[in-house]
Amino acid sequence: MAETIRAYFKRRTRRTLQVCAVAVAIAVIAMALFAFGYVLAGGIVGVMAVVISGVGLWYLHLTKCPRCLSQLSATASSARLPHPINFCPYCGANLDSERPCIAH
């Protein structure tokens, strides 16, 4: 069975949250390194955490409507809210319709 546009958005949002969770874990490690006096190692690990969280948010930002290819990062984020957006604001595609095989 083909994936809906909403399921595609949820999948991308879930991946972003997983990457951000990893970044938070790495940030905790960085803080622990700072606390134990390893300032240089803590700084390097802290920068890694910032870069990883940036990559995760960039991945979500690149989420596009599979039908019109408009950037829909805010719409994709709303896919997890109790009252999410149901249509693409640019082309009117129903997010519960089948996802065309254009974007991955």
β-bridge partners, 95: none
Tell whether residue 88 is a contact of Zn ion (CB under 5 A). Answer: yes
Between 7 and 31, whose beta carbon lies closer to Zn ion?
A: 7
Taking CA atoms, 61 is separated from 24, 55, 72, 75, in Å, by 19, 10, 8, 10
Report residue 98 CA to chain centroid gap: 21
Between 38 and 90, whose beta carbon lies closer to Zn ion?
A: 90
- Closest by CA to 79, choosing from 92, 57, 100, 60, is 60
3-state secondary structure of 66: coil
Stretch that binds Zn ion, among 27-35, 47-55, 73-81, 88-96 (CB under 5 A): 88-96
Determine which residue in the list 91, 96, 98, 102 makes contact with Zn ion, applying CB under 5 A.
91
Determine which residue in the list 34, 38, 59, 90 makes contact with Zn ion, applying CB under 5 A.
90
Interface positions, 28-87, toward Zn ion (CB under 5 A) = 65, 67-68
Q: What is the DSSP letter of 82?
A: S
Residues that bind Zn ion (CB under 5 A): 65, 67-68, 88, 90-91, 93
